[in-house]
């Protein structure tokens, strides 16, 4: 039957209220929705928007304390800054592009310059309340889903200046969500590190930092400190800290105006350049950048007006003018510090010289690996690339992904089901080498691991990564879990920054298919399977033993718009080596005991 055409006339043109547009196109304003199981989910973005406003007050020298509480779904934030001007309280939380951050004299360093923040929180909350106090007077307004319910003026001479915001994320928008304490507390710790002198109180727990980025690195490194004391420099617009470790590669925590730039950007590049120049000037040498930075862990934060980011997610700074002042500032601070700390300087230069020696020794191994690969095949074996790379379509860079999957059967199904423009498939031959405890040359000598490097484009530098997402796609059985752990060991040991930047994911596919002649449901857990069996009459249940048993037609659903990806995240650098040592090391008795205990717990 032919589809009836809908008239495109004046009646088809709609004008949405701005807050209604936020509810209709939520992703444009806060990114992903999620259910609270990921720290980037929308409910945490709402909290960030409110706390950011309180942080801006502290940055401007107003208010050294922020009090945050959570009771069930609802969150409150109280700062002790200047307070929103009372006559503009309602406008500031309900009218788009209204706020004080357009005025550089009032707010000099802020990420959110578009006047949207609290408007989005208001529009996406079941209940939203704001109170502002200024000089003994107060203004209160209550909203529901962006619509004002009540406003009142009152005198409160005993209340200190500041702003209070309470909100409850709307379940019509976010569904069945749940807050996770670890994500909230992690964010608050970073706020404290980036704002020395600020005290954040969350449900009775205090977060504060005296030494800023030095404290951040110390916490991340934990019981495994660097090779020497952490170098720390703090200026008006630039702060940085660094040390070397025994790990491979380099790892950074970078920020702009308090915004975590997970993919770095021009400020991070300028920091790296200034560090290299400073060390070479002090040593009167010409060390290569990779030799200076291998094993380096650094943190850098800058405060700049009107920052330019490379994407909506603000995870990479694009402002080019920062290099001119960051490079010389870092160079000078490093030179002075090394002169003041001769013992540390000696340790650092010894590490760099050792890196240089290892790089030269590794060069011959790399050369042999390249020659071996050329003899094997012109193209990378087992890689089915996507048109994004074949056609160099840069505009879809953030959508590109590569799936590392086990076996030709699963790989073949995924090749037929994928989006040929943005999804590449790399089929593993079998179980990868357990590279825990091995030196770096092992991944060049092992054909499988070397080809993974080539496929990802990270043979020489992580900056050459060819895909935004590296997705581990293995069967939901014991062998599949083992392969997943082997690949994670590979990435965490040799390419830890790849994980830290948020590029590594786990692909989730259903364990069961429950269906009858009228309905089909795919279930990802035992609980979902049980519920489906109770709700579907005379169900037929199929247990997918592996990805290869999922037909290309079915696989297309799971690789499309409804794809389920779990981002691999590190709680702290110090936890990585402990976890790898426990799960992939030689402590067989302890690991066996752990498995047995957890199996018993699951069956009770």
75: phi then psi, degrees, rounded to nearest 5 = -130, 140
Best CA proximity match to 38, nearest among 174, 194, 200: 174
Token pair belonging to 65? 């304390």
What is the rounded distance in angstroms from the CA atom of residue 418 to the CA atom of residue 423?
6
What is the rounded distance in angstroms from the CA atom of residue 433 to the CA atom of residue 10?
64
Which of 17, 71, 172, 479 does the annotation list as catalytic?
A: 479
Please calculate the CA angle 562-175-571 and round it to the nearest 5 degrees. 75
Token pair belonging to 88? 């503009």
Which of 104, 156, 181, 477 does the annotation list as catalytic?
A: 477
442: phi then psi, degrees, rounded to nearest 5 = -60, -35
**Known catalytic residue at 306:** no
What is the rounded distance in angstroms from the CA atom of residue 218 to the CA atom of residue 265?
23
**Known catalytic residue at 406:** yes
Which of 41, 291, 475, 497 does the annotation list as catalytic?
A: 475
What is the rounded distance in angstroms from the CA atom of residue 566 to the CA atom of residue 505?
5
Helix axes 323-340 and 342-376, enclosed angle (nearest 10): 120
What is the rounded distance in angstroms from the CA atom of residue 410 to the CA atom of residue 117?
44
* Residue the block writes with tokens 């200046």: 161
Q: Enter the DSSP assignment of 197.
A: T
Which of 406, 419, 496, 497 does the annotation list as catalytic?
A: 406
Residues 6+ apart with CB under 8 A from 489: 434, 435, 436, 580, 583, 584
What is the rounded distance in angstroms from the CA atom of residue 402 to the CA atom of residue 425?
6
Residues 6+ apart with CB under 8 A from 45: 30, 31
Token pair belonging to 78? 């109280």
**Known catalytic residue at 56:** no
Q: How far apart are the first and last CA of the chain?
A: 56
581: phi then psi, degrees, rounded to nearest 5 = -60, -40
Q: Enter the DSSP assignment of 526.
A: H
β-bridge pairing 469-473 and 504-508: parallel
What is the rounded distance in angstroms from the CA atom of residue 19 to the CA atom of residue 33?
17
**Known catalytic residue at 477:** yes
Active-site positions read 406, 475, 477, 479
């Amino acid at each position: 039957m032919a589809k009836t055409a809908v008239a495109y006339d004046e009646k088809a043109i709609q004008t949405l209220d701005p807050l209604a547009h936020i509810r209709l196109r939520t992703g444009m304003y806060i990114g992903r929705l999620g259910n609270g199981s990921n720290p980037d989910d929308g409910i945490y973005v709402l909290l960030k928007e409110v706390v950011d406003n309180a942080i801006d007050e502290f940055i401007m020298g107003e208010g050294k304390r922020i009090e945050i509480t959570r009771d069930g779904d609802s969150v409150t934030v109280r700062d002790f800054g200047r307070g929103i001007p009372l006559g503009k309280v309602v406008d500031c939380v309900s009218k788009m592009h209204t706020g004080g951050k357009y005025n550089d004299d009032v707010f000099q360093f802020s990420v959110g310059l578009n006047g949207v923040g609290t408007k989005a929180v208001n529009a996406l909350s079941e209940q939203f309340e704001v109170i502002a106090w200024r000089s003994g007077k107060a203004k209160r307004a209550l909203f529901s889903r962006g619509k004002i319910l009540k406003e009142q003026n009152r005198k409160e001479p005993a209340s200190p200046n500041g702003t209070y915001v309470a909100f409850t994320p709307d379940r019509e928008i976010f569904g069945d969500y749940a807050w996770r304490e670890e994500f909230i507390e992690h964010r608050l710790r970073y706020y404290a590190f980036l704002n020395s002198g600020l005290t954040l109180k969350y449900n009775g727990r205090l977060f504060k930092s005296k030494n800023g980025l030095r404290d951040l690195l110390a916490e991340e490194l934990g019981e495994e400190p660097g090779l020497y004391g952490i170098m720390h420099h703090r200026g008006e617009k630039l702060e940085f800290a660094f040390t070397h470790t025994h790990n491979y590669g380099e790892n950074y925590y970078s920020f702009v105006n308090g915004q975590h730039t997970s993919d770095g950007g021009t400020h991070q590049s300028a920091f790296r350049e200034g560090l290299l120049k400073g060390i070479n000037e002090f040593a009167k040498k010409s060390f290569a950048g990779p030799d200076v930075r291998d094993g380096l862990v650094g943190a850098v934060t800058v405060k700049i007006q009107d920052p330019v980011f490379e994407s909506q997610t603000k995870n990479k700074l694009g402002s080019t003018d920062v290099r001119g002042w960051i490079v010389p500032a870092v160079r000078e601070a490093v030179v002075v510090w090394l002169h003041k700390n001769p013992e540390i300087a000696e340790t650092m230069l010894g590490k760099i010289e050792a890196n240089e020696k290892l790089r030269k020794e590794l060069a011959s191994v790399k050369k042999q690996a390249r020659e071996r690969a050329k003899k094997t095949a012109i193209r990378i074996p087992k890689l089915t690339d996507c048109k994004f790379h074949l056609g160099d379509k840069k505009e879809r860079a953030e959508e590109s992904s590569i799936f590392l999957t086990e076996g030709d059967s699963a790989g073949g199904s995924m090749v037929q089901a994928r989006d040929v423009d943005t999804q590449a498939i790399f089929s593993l031959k079998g179980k990868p080498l357990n590279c825990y405890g091995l030196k770096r040359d092992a991944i060049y000598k092992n054909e499988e691991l070397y080809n993974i490097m080539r496929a990802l484009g990270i043979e020489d530098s992580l900056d050459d990564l060819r895909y935004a997402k590296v997705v581990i796609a293995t069967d939901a059985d014991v062998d599949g879990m083992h392969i997943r752990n082997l690949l994670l060991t590979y990435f965490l040991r040799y390419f830890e920054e790849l994980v830290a930047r948020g590029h590594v994911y786990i692909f989730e596919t259903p364990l069961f298919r429950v269906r009858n002649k009228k309905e089909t449901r795919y279930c990802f857990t035992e609980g979902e399977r049980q519920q489906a069996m109770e709700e579907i009459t005379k169900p037929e249940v199929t247990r997918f033993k592996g990805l290869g048993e999922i037909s290309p037609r079915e696989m297309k659903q799971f690789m499309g718009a409804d794809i389920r990806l779990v981002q691999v995240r590190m709680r702290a650098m110090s936890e990585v080596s402990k976890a790898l040592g426990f799960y992939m090391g030689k402590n067989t008795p302890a690991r066996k005991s752990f498995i047995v205990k957890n199996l018993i717990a699951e069956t009770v």
